[in-house]
Structure 1
């Protein structure tokens, strides 16, 4: 890709990040300005929509401002991986352990499987051999 094509791809992806995060150009401009940016809000809007080109440093600062604003947003709610009345989500380490427990339950007795399930923090039950085993 040529340098001009790379800059256009950066602009396009920067606009995509702005839209995906539901950010306003004014918020981006304020953050950009705090980073010593020197173009106005209208120029940022025009740049993001491909109407004007900006110096590489300004493009970098705009992208950095958007990324900082994205980092400050609260995380989106996660989908529950199983029906439960427990509000505690299954975290990534516990999910790996739960997968191990599920694999083990297929080769062990129901009582032994219950013991395995109790080690899987956040997991209250696992369907194993057509039976729902609960802690």
Structure 2
């Protein structure tokens, strides 16, 4: 998982999973947009190739869209990481008990 604030590492895991799967960016973008993503296709393309930054929430939605797309296609292997740990052990945080 990427460390909070480490956009380059998160971008790297996204791009590695994206390229390994051979999926098209417009498919990922449609999934991203359908779950609430606010960036346009050109912005997402620019982010993937390092020409633009995105806020953590948008990066996480994009990662989730890719991961869901890969799951739906039955693709095993790499997955995109999130900007923070999504699932925590309840022992780590008293608010999750």
- Both proteins in one fold, TM over 0.5: yes
Structure 1 residue 56, shift from structure 2 partner: 0.4
**In the aligned structure 1, how far is the partner of 2:73 from the partner of 2:7?**
26
| Structure 2: gaps spanning 5 or more residues | 77-97
**In the aligned structure 1, how far is the partner of 2:31 from the partner of 2:74?**
18
Which stretches of structure 1, 4 residues or more, deviate above 3 A after TM superposition?
none
Aligned to 1:41: 41
Q: Assess, with a 3 A threshold, how the Cα gap between structure 1 residues 45 and 75 changes in structure 2: closer, same or farther.
A: closer
Aligned to 1:18: 18
Structure 1 residue 74, shift from structure 2 partner: 3.2
What TM-score do the two structures reach when normalised by structure 1? Answer: 0.51
Normalized per residue, which structure has more strand? 1
Note the aligned Cα RMSD (angstroms): 2.0
What TM-score do the two structures reach when normalised by structure 2? Answer: 0.70
Structure of higher RCO (CA pairs closer than 8 Å, 6+ residues apart): 2
Aligned to 2:50: 50
SS of 1:51's equivalent? coil
Count of matched residue pairs = 75
